[in-house]
Amino acid sequence: MMLTQRCCSGDEDWVQMKALVQVRPTEHLHVMDLPYRFSSWAFDEPRNTQLWFDGDELVAWAALQTPFWSIDYAIHPEAPMPLLDEVLTWADARARECVDTAFGRPTWFINAFSDAQVHIDAIERAGFRNQADVGENAWSKVWMHLDGNLPDVVESPSGYQVRSLAGENEVAAYVATHRAAFNSENMTVAWRARTLRQPNYVRDTDVVAVTHAGDIAAFCVGWLDGSRGQVEPMGVHPEHQRHGLGRAVLLEGLRRLAAHGATDIYVETDNYRDAALALYEAVGFRVAHNVWVFRKDYTA
């Protein structure tokens, strides 16, 4: 195998990157929501990505996703395992290189399904450490599955309307609510606007709850890939919590995903988000995989 490397250069590369994940989609945490992740501002800096080609065939890729503090990657299942070590070596070097830039983080994380031992071994060889058992700050995730048996759809809570996002004219309002819901400035207008222009974007599955005054109070974005769907992200503005809005936008989003052909729907959540986990379980999601979170710290 004679490999060449280069940075990601945009839409055509994204198509190949997603196609590589789809070779064995059940082995990846991010499949349906890749258009959302590929739209992030981390891709504004080409050096945050690397692609490996065998001739014209993409066999591996990696991206430092600054907004998520996360390293995403994919490798062809038939590629020799030394390539995985090479991919992680590149990610480690890039994390060190950009630590003092706007794209750097003092800590980076990599996720892996708990039964993906070959990947876990490589991640640990690269110096990342499992956070599942580190005392009071232990952190892991769950990958949850809904098989299409939806509960009854609830009516919109009094004082709110559940509908689709009203296109780019409402993006800035969405961003303000997203930032408030997650107490983070990572979401940007440019990022959210790019998601609306992705080929896999379906406006009908981009759900918001708004007040009578038109303010966005909650959101649930659904992504489709054939018969599979994914919820990413979902949130409620702190000023509008405890009104049943999370359940309302989630159920409406699930109903719309099912109406567009999704028979299997997935969502990822953290083990410490008790309210989110309880909500997903209440509407029928069940844990399909445990997901380990691996951490490595970086300094200038």
Would you list the DSSP string of 187-254? --HHHHHHHHTSTT--GGGEEEEEETT--EEEEEEEEEETTEEEEEEEEE-GGGTTSSHHHHHHHHHH
Q: Which domains does the chain have, with CATH numbers?
A: 3-141+293-297 (3.40.630.30), 160-262 (3.40.630.30)
Distance in angstroms (rounded) separating the CA atoms of residues 213 and 10: 38
**pLDDT tens per residue, range 105-124:** 999 999 999 999 999 999 99
What is the model's pLDDT at position 272? 79
| Cβ atoms within 10 Å of 299's Cβ, excluding its own | 7
What is the model's pLDDT at position 137? 87
**pLDDT tens per residue, range 201-217:** 999 999 999 999 999 99
**pLDDT tens per residue, range 28-38:** 999 999 999 99
Q: Is 94 in contact with 46 (CB distance < 8 Å)?
A: no
Q: Which residues of the chain have pLDDT under 70?
A: 1, 148, 300
Q: Is 194 in contact with 39 (CB distance < 8 Å)?
A: yes
How large is the C-alpha radius of gyration of the chain? 19
What is the model's pLDDT at position 256? 95
End-to-end CA distance of the chain: 35
Would you list the DSSP string of 116-147? -HHHHHHHHHTT-EE-TTSGGG--EEEEEEE-
